[in-house]
Amino acid sequence: MIILGIESSCDECAVALVEDGSKVLSNVVASQVEIHAPYSGVVPELASRKHIEWILDVIAGSFREAGVDVGEIDGIAVTSRPGLVGSLMVGVCFAKGVAVATGKPVVGVDHLKAHLYAVMLLEPINYPYIGVVISGGHSLICRVDSFDEVEQLGSTIDDACGEAFDKVARHYGFGFPGGPAVEAVARGGDPDAYNFPKPSMHKDPNPYNFSYSGLKTAVIHHPDRFWKQGSPKGTNHIAASFQRCAIDIILDKLSRVVEKTGIDRVVIGGGVASNSYLRESVSRTASYTSYLPPKEYCTDNAAMVAGIGYHYLVAGMESSLSLKVAPHSIGSRSVAHP
Ligand code: KG4
Ligand code: ZN
């Protein structure tokens, strides 16, 4: 079965063709980074306009790259939540149009579940596993029992992990998007030069929740308070120390969840999963086996959407043509499908 995947939840206009849930025939991503870079952040109105301008070319490019004709597809999968509503609507309206024109079924996909599925494009992972999504909009830790059954164990109570990278990068003028920019600057820095604070979370009854606003504030407004006597000073050392702290927060939660649940398979997805310090750290961890997609499937892409969409369509869980978009993820166990 060949599934057409469409992803337009934020600033990537992406279309892919994937066969049987894992064989990627094409994966085209048109990034809007240059459009939003002058603002050091994604401007929702600009994002949706660019999706409208670009999506036809991106779809055509994806079919061309795969050498597939539109008549050969068996279904369409599209991100319908969570994300920027105007951007999501472009992808969903297009998906419905293709469904009407071809007579093929369409299914709306949760972007976070698609991130958790991305690694399956490379290799099947046995359920259950612990899933982590760390992106610009989310920090989520969950138990995953199937492609659709995701039980949220913890999430951010304020800023998302990637958002903290983006805001630190914006403040110090490292570049946009912030994650790769911080990583590049951090390469020349000492990760032990500043001892930035990890959140104590003592007031939060859920030990698996995350918080990044305290760390972000410390890094942006009071770095000198956390400088370690005798260490080198400077923005590259701040970047390296921030990166270490931000990622260690994830690693600490993961260790606790693995110990508590006894599930020792861990899948990590979302843009921050492409961070090299994170990837090296989890590969050295003995208490669990980690599975991370290659970098092009960590950041937003449509191959993960087409991949998970295959499983919905095989299970007969298609959406109606009144499929709606939503800014938030359902994010809890056994969600009713649209
Ligand atoms: O999953 P994604 O492409 O889009 C969302 O769903 O949000 O994630 C984008 C986020 C941004 O915050 C970006 O700064 C961050 O992922 N990111 C990184 C790295 N590459 C992307 N963060 C840390 N290190 C990276 N190498
Ligand atoms: Zn994403």
In contact, 52 and 90? CB cutoff 8 Å? yes
Rounded distance, CA 18 to CA 309, Å?
10
The neighbour count for residue 71, using CB atoms within 10 Å, is: 7
- Which ligand 1 atom sits nearest the alpha carbon of residue 274? 26
- In this prediction, residue 200 carries a pLDDT of 77
At residue 330 the predicted structure's pLDDT band, cuts being 50, 70 and 90, is: low
Q: For a ligand 1 pocket test, name from 111, 112, 117, 135 the mutation site with the most ligand atoms within 8 angstroms of its C-beta.
A: 135
Q: For a ligand 1 pocket test, name from 161, 272, 305 the mutation site with the most ligand atoms within 8 angstroms of its C-beta.
A: 272
282-299 confidence digits (pLDDT tens): 999 999 999 999 999 999
In contact, 305 and 17? CB cutoff 8 Å? no
**C-alpha distance from residue 137 to each of 140, 221, 300 (Å):** 10, 22, 12
CA proximity to 163, closest of 227, 222, 124, 216: 216
Distance 132 CA to ligand 2 centre (A): 12
Instruction: Summarize the confidence of residues 162-172 as an average pLDDT.
Output: 96
Residue with tokens 């494009």: 121
- In this prediction, residue 334 carries a pLDDT of 32
The answer, yes or no, to whether the previous bond of 82 is cis (omega within 30 of 0) is yes
Percentage of the chain modeled with pLDDT above 70: 97
- In this prediction, residue 332 carries a pLDDT of 39
- In this prediction, residue 272 carries a pLDDT of 98
Q: What is the mean pLDDT of the chain?
A: 95
In the chain, the N- to C-terminal Cα span, in Å, equals 22
DSSP structure string for 281-311? HHHH-SSSEEE---HHHHSS-SHHHHHHHHH
On the question of pLDDT at 201 being above 80, the answer is: no
On the question of pLDDT at 329 being above 90, the answer is: no
- Which ligand 1 atom sits nearest the alpha carbon of residue 135? 8
At residue 338 the predicted structure's pLDDT band, cuts being 50, 70 and 90, is: very low
List ligand 1's pocket residues with C-beta within 6 A. Answer: 10, 135-137, 162, 165-166, 177-180, 183, 270-272, 274-275, 299-300
In contact, 211 and 245? CB cutoff 8 Å? no
202-236 confidence digits (pLDDT tens): 778 898 999 999 999 999 999 999 999 999 999 99
On the question of pLDDT at 280 being above 50, the answer is: yes
- In this prediction, residue 202 carries a pLDDT of 72
- In this prediction, residue 312 carries a pLDDT of 98
At residue 71 the predicted structure's pLDDT band, cuts being 50, 70 and 90, is: very high
Instruction: Summarize the confidence of residues 116-131 as an average pLDDT.
Output: 97
- Atom 11 in ligand 1: residue holding the nearest Cα: 136
On the question of pLDDT at 19 being above 90, the answer is: yes
79-119 confidence digits (pLDDT tens): 999 999 999 999 999 999 999 999 999 999 999 999 999 99
Q: What are phi and psi of 46, to 5 degrees?
A: -65, -40
pTM equals 0.94
- In this prediction, residue 97 carries a pLDDT of 98
